[in-house]
Amino acid sequence: MITAKGLYKRYRKTVAVNHLSFDVRPGVVTGFLGPNGSGKSTTMRLMLGLDHGEGQTLFDGEAFTDIRRPMNKVGTLLEAKPFHPTRSARNHLRMLASANGVGDKRVDEVMELVGLGSVKRKKPKGYSLGMAQRLGLAQALLGDPRILLLDEPTNGLDPHGIHWMRDMLKHLASEGRTIFVSSHLLSEMQLMADELVVIGRGHMIFNGDVDQFVRDFTQSTVIVRSPSAEGFTAALEGAGAEVAKGKDGELIVSGMEIGAVGHLAFTENVELSELSTRSASLEEAFMSATGSSEEFIAAEPIAPATKTGGSANA
């Protein structure tokens, strides 16, 4: 269990983290989301006491800096991964392991676990970004910790690697560990995370269940197909719903529950060939929740010049 209270960090005029408090429960994967520059990395550094700031974070009741053998309690993977420049990956891990009372057997075990068994004698500087991420995870897992704090662990991984990371983190959570993981990949987060901490400009936006986040920040719609789509559109609008036309003649109805749409079709004697609900994605919820808190908002792309058609008259 991680308990963060009143985390606060200011860089000159920028308040990077603004009084954040949240809990991360064991047994589930908790995703940490926020737009670029919203304060995720700073929050993680504050939690580990790597940055000066305010607030307190307890890992199973203890501050990180008070834990006697941190590697055995909290595994970390932060964005900057300092690997030894000349040692092999295996020797790099052995060095860390021996300093923390972890045996060589565990080094080989974690290298196999992350799929680097065949390249463990190579130097990390020759590793691809994806391999370096795997080595970073191996390092985090060395002490078999009950808590993992991972900043963008899927960064640089190919689709197979991402799939592997997702299964791995879900598996580690199912063993009762506490997993706190930041990622930009929202579709991935939707598949990986059970709970979320969402921040914008250093402020808390949401802390809770993923499905609840999607429900809170989006509207699910009702999809209707009918041979009498035109007439039924008028009836729906007359009853206060908003209707948009989707592909292949489907009607996308918002502002009315599926049961009420079905009942209206019954009372209007309208035949339906489809009546279903469409839930919004985590990405839609994220855009809706964090839209106004984005730090760097790009200009709208400039529309291409309209073709005037034919050759210009000289």
Ligand X SMILES: Nc1ncnc2c1ncn2[C@@H]1O[C@H](COP(=O)(O)OP(=O)(O)OP(=O)(O)O)[C@@H](O)[C@H]1O
Give the footprint of ligand X on this chain (CB under 6 A). Answer: 11, 14, 16, 34, 36-42, 295
Q: Which residue, 14 or 279, is less far from ligand X as judged by CB? A: 14
**Cβ of residue 292: shortest distance to ligand X, in angstroms?**
16
Q: Which residue, 40 or 94, is less far from ligand X as judged by CB? A: 40
Instruction: Tell how many helices (H) and how many strands (E) occur in the chain.
Output: 11, 13
**Which H/E stretch holds residue 216?**
helix 210-217
Q: Is the dihedral of CA 25, 196, 140, 117 positive or negative?
A: positive
**Cβ of residue 279: shortest distance to ligand X, in angstroms?**
26
**Cβ of residue 47: shortest distance to ligand X, in angstroms?**
12
Residue 70 near residue 142, CB atoms below 8 Å: no
**Cβ of residue 193: shortest distance to ligand X, in angstroms?**
16
Strand locations in the chain, DSSP E?
2-11, 14-24, 29-33, 54-59, 74-77, 147-151, 178-182, 195-200, 203-209, 221-225, 242-245, 251-254, 274-278
**Cβ of residue 264: shortest distance to ligand X, in angstroms?**
45
Q: Which residue, 12 or 307, is less far from ligand X as judged by CB? A: 12
Q: Which residue, 139 or 182, is less far from ligand X as judged by CB? A: 182
Q: Which residue has the tokens 């640089």?
A: 156
Could you tell me which of 69, 111, 72 has the C-alpha nearest to residue 92? 111
Q: Which residue, 16 or 241, is less far from ligand X as judged by CB? A: 16
